[in-house]
Amino acid sequence: MKINILIQKKSWAIDYSNKILYECKKISKNSKIIYAAKNIRRNSDVTIIFSYFRIIDQKLLSRSKYNIIPHESDLPKGRGMSPLTWQILEGKNKIFFSLLEASKKYGQGKIYYKKKVNVGNSLVFKEIKTLQLKKNLKLIIRFLKYLKIHKKSPKSFKQSSSASYYRIRKPEDSELNVNKSIKSQFNLLRVADFKNYPNFFFYKKKKYLIKLIKDE
């Protein structure tokens, strides 16, 4: 099988790209990491769209028989960007992980798998991303194994029309309120990506950054 793994270079997943490639190569040696949709190889069997934030032209998607996307929500609820982060901020600790086919409209493709995962209430950013990788990769490998054995995709089902959406997160979403307790803002502290979207607060007209580290 010819497998493309599409990851955006500025994505959190870039730090895990070698792990993703290693697992895919167990299924097919002809697996390759690519960083732009224009590099999707023609006559590919599968393109895994792993943390890629740009709309992909249908002509590029047509180069691959299947184009699969991991998404952390109970679709069609929670379409959009950063669903895992938003749901943790809502106080949820049991979250659905889904694997779906790419479509013309973002997040509206047919669904192959759904799995409810306990993400707990104490993991910090790196632990959250490690869990996110592990659970998404498990669904991806399950799909690839099925395809390799049966020469067709697993059964899928269409999404209902009752959808909700999450907007893209912005740097200002990581701001802490100095008048609120750490306890009330703990979820905001633990989901923050210090490299790209660090927690911060203003005090006496000065800006301060915060990095949360768990003392093991």
| 100 in any annotated domain | yes
Residue 110 backbone phi and psi in degrees, to 5 = -65, 150
Statement to judge: residues 102 and 155 lie in one domain: yes
The string of DSSP letters for 151-210 reads SSPPP-B---S---EEPPP-GGGGBPPTTS-TGGGHHHHHH-BTTTB-EEEEETTEEEEE
Statement to judge: residues 51 and 107 lie in one domain: yes
Q: Which run of H or of E encompasses 137?
A: helix 125-150
Percent of the chain topping pLDDT 90: 88
What's the predicted TM-score (pTM) here? 0.93
Total domain count, the chain: 2
| 216 in any annotated domain | no
**pLDDT at 106 exceeding the cut of 90:** no
| 215 in any annotated domain | no
| 198 in any annotated domain | yes
For residue range 120-177, list pLDDT tens digits in order: 999 999 999 999 999 999 999 999 999 999 999 999 999 987 899 999 999 999 999 9
Statement to judge: residues 46 and 107 lie in one domain: yes
